């Protein structure tokens, strides 16, 4: 039993350490609450809309919005001296999901206090004129899905290549 526990703890700590190294190579985090994804060149807000970055993490509750409200908030956003924030498209937001992480399926050290729930994208459905694609950060698998525009979801804003 002791040997099994030791092996488990070694594997768990090695896995966490490895993930932290991968995260550190992939993301550049600044002290203002912005994250640059070194793989895509996109700049993300560390916190979901409604939360405030405190230097130690994201405080407060992430707010939820209808799709039209989310688009409006993004187009009127002026954070950290930039006014070119936008909702990410579905492919961009999916780059933040991590299949080997759960509840939330995102690098929590980089994006702290992210709800393990649905987030809006700017990608409308081609099948239904009243739906858009969303991404869920609960289990990391099959994370994209269609949401009705009247539904409420969280928002994480991005800047950079479109």
Q: By percentage, how much of the chain surpasses pLDDT 90?
A: 61
**What's the pLDDT at 19?**
56
Condensed to tens digits (0 to 9), the pLDDT of residues 31-68 reads 889 999 999 999 999 999 999 999 889 999 999 999 99
3-state secondary structure of 25: helix
**What's the pLDDT at 20?**
60
Pairing mode, strands 52-53 and 43-45: unpaired
Give residue limits of the domains in the chain: 2-159
**What's the pLDDT at 39?**
93
- Rounded mean pLDDT, 123-146: 83
Give phi and psi for 75, each to the nearest 5. -70, -20
Q: Which residue has better confidence, 88 or 8?
A: 88
Q: Do the Cβ atoms of 112 and 53 come closer than 8 Å? A: no
Quick one: tokens of 63?
């707010």
pLDDT of residue 159 exceeding 50: yes
Q: How far apart are CA 107 and CA 112, in angstroms?
A: 8
**What's the pLDDT at 153?**
94
Taking the whole predicted model, whether its pTM rises above 0.85 is answered as no
Q: How far apart are CA 40 and CA 52, in angstroms?
A: 25
Q: Which CATH class is domain 2-159?
A: alpha beta
- Rounded mean pLDDT, 136-156: 83
């Amino acid at each position: 039993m002791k040997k099994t526990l030791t092996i488990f703890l070694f594997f768990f700590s090695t896995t966490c350490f490895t993930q932290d190294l991968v995260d550190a190579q992939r993301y550049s985090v600044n002290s203002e609450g912005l994250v640059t994804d070194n793989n895509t060149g996109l700049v993300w807000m560390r916190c979901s809309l409604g939360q405030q970055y405190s230097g130690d993490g994201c405080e407060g509750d992430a707010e939820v919005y209808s799709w039209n409200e989310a688009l409006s908030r993004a187009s009127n956003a002026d954070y950290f001296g930039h006014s070119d924030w936008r909702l990410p498209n579905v492919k961009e937001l999916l780059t933040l999901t991590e299949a080997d992480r759960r509840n939330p399926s995102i690098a929590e050290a980089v994006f702290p206090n992210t709800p393990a729930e649905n987030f809006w994208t700017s990608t409308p459905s081609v099948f239904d004129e009243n739906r858009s694609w969303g991404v869920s950060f609960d289990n990391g698998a099959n994370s994209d899905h269609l949401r009705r525009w009247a539904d409420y979801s969280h928002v994480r804003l991005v800047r950079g290549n479109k």
